[in-house]
A and B are shown apart, each in its own frame.
Chain A
């Protein structure tokens, strides 16, 4: 699972790919549509889409002469859960620190 997450995070570490995902969030898009805002070639866009596909973040299908891409939210949810565990961990740490500081202020002698 951690290896899958590595792929996911690597795929997400690029701003172009994040923009592509954001665009896919509102629905299916052709490769051409995904390439257009980034002033890149079809081949350039296809490379990014392959990275996203390997990471399990999107899937592609043929529709006539076009290739359409669709978002797969499941793997993103996995990565999000993992990050959120850490967020909870640090939030808990800061909760305890806050409690100690408040306690100390009630009785200034330590």
Chain B
């Protein structure tokens, strides 16, 4: 029933696409930025960087230990990384999908991260269904001004 809800964030880096790509799969680097919060203590950062491989990132926070599970679907260095993502207390079936595209841009790299928020999405292999991007945000702002 739920339709696709997609969030997209883009960032330019002053580094090669390879450098940006590798950061996501190297536990020594990932532990410093992926699901890391300023006051948290990283307990576990395990990444099995293979298609079908899983990742587990656990950070101790004042609110408790935050578990983040990953499962890799596409690993195409340096341009494309797709993983299923779930943060406890989501159920085992409640995966959402994160896609990362990295393209060379001058001396640097442009990263586009797309988070497909519909948990049911994870069950679909059909990549042709495209969601809509942040239309919601602009709609809400338009409406907010009128109401």
Contacts and interface: CB of A to CB of B under 8 A. Distances in A.
B74 interface: no
Given A25-B143, A80-B139, 14 more contacts: A9-B117, A13-B2, A18-B135, A73-B143, A77-B143, A79-B136, A83-B136, A84-B137, A90-B9, A91-B9, A94-B9, A100-B23, A100-B29, A100-B32
Interface in B1-49: 1-5, 7, 9, 11, 13-15, 19-20, 23, 29, 32-36
Nearest to A22: B139
Interface residues of A, number: 33
Nearest to B108: A101
Contacts of B9: 87, 90-91, 94
B136 A80 contact: yes
Interface in A63-94: 71, 73, 76-77, 79-80, 83-84, 86-87, 90-91, 93-94
A15 B117 CA distance: 18
Contact of A76 (B1, B3, B13, B143): B143
Nearest to A75: B140
Contacts of B20: 97, 101
Nearest to A72: B147
B58 interface: no
Taking chain A's interface residues, is the majority helix, strand, or loop, or is none over half, making it mixed? Answer: helix
Given A21-B139, A73-B144, A80-B140, A97 B5 contact: no
A57 to B, nearest CB: 9
Interface in A25-80: 25-26, 71, 73, 76-77, 79-80
28 contacts: A6-B1, A6-B2, A9-B2, A9-B3, A9-B5, A9-B118, A13-B4, A21-B139, A25-B142, A71-B146, A73-B146, A76-B136, A77-B144, A80-B139, A80-B141, A83-B5, A83-B117, A83-B137, A86-B115, A93-B33, A93-B34, A94-B11, A96-B32, A97-B20, A97-B23, A100-B23, A100-B33, A101-B14
